[in-house]
Amino acid sequence: MKCYLCGLDAQKTDEANGGQLIECSDCGTYRVSGLVLKELEVKAFNFPKMRDDLHRQRQFNATLVAEINTETAIWV
């Protein structure tokens, strides 16, 4: 599949709650919630802001997996 943020090739793993775990060599690993995936059908992420936020989440939470859910998603 293509990364939802940068559009490069990425690995996708479906998760039980309807979300997906994305591993992109450029954006890192992030989880997209099922609700956000639905919204993605009609909206697009604000790529620079979203990437900054993923970076901030990883520093703040000391985790490698950043979350894109309805609270953290930044749309164009």
Quick one: which segment of 16-24, 34-42, 54-62, 68-76 binds Zn ion (CB under 5 A)?
A: 16-24
* Binding footprint of Zn ion, residue count (CB under 5 A): 6
The span of 1-9, 34-42, 49-57, 59-67 binding Zn ion (CB under 5 A) equals 1-9
CA distance 29 to 4: 12
x/- mask, Zn ion, residues 22-41, rule CB under 5 A, reads --x-xx--------------
Residue with smaller CB distance to Zn ion, 6 or 65? 6
Helix (H) or strand (E) holding 36: helix 34-39
Which of 32, 35, 16 lies closest to 24 in space, CA to CA? 32
C-beta atoms surrounding 47 within 10 Å: 16
68 binds Zn ion (CB under 5 A): no
